[in-house]
Amino acid sequence: MYRLEEETDADWWEVEALYDLCFAPGRTALSSYRLRDGVPTVAALCLVLRDGDGTLAGVIRYWPVEVDGRDVLLLGPVAVHPTRQGEGLGGLLINESLSEARRLGWERVMLVGDAPYYSRFGFRKLDKVVMPPPTNPERVLGLELRKGAWDGVAGAVTKAT
């Protein structure tokens, strides 16, 4: 039995500890973190997943960014505790948060990740969207929450204003 809830300020340290456990020590040096600096999360989409004992099992965060002057959600990071991986919890976090993003009126989502994993959620390579270096362009993926939302959207990903 798991509880899916919106992340609160009280969760912050525990969430950061899970990200540290799941990702390389230099994760905050990635270009996507430059886009997040000083920008608040999209709080309604930042979720924590806890088991029946209250232990943090997984997390997902979203940040606003812009491409070509248009609002875009930047998904990530998403992490599942190593002892809980393989249970489908990452997929649950992604599906639930994307459903909520659609309900809230967001039109497009992007991330930097592995296409073989994220393609099952509908993400595809964004050929004309450029993340700050040193991001591998093959890993820049997007999803339309509204049909045609990525049509004509091209250029550099920038911080939300």
Over the stretch 35-54, which tens digit does the pLDDT of each residue have?
A: 999 999 999 999 999 999 99
Domain that holds residue 37: 2-159
C-beta contacts of 125-128 below 8 A and 24+ residues apart: 126/150, 128/153, 128/154, 128/155
pLDDT of residue 62: 98
Locate 153 and state its tokens.
């959207």
Q: What is the rounded distance in angstroms from the CA atom of residue 142 to the CA atom of residue 158?
A: 15
Please report the pLDDT score of residue 137 as a whole number.
95
Looking at residue 6, which CATH number applies to its domain? 3.40.630.30
The tens digit of pLDDT for each residue in 17-31 reads: 999 999 977 787 788
Total domains present in the chain: 1
Query: Which residues of the chain have a pLDDT value below 50?
Result: none
Query: So what's the pLDDT on residue 155?
Result: 97
CA separation, residue 50 to residues 81, 91, 120 (Å): 11, 15, 24
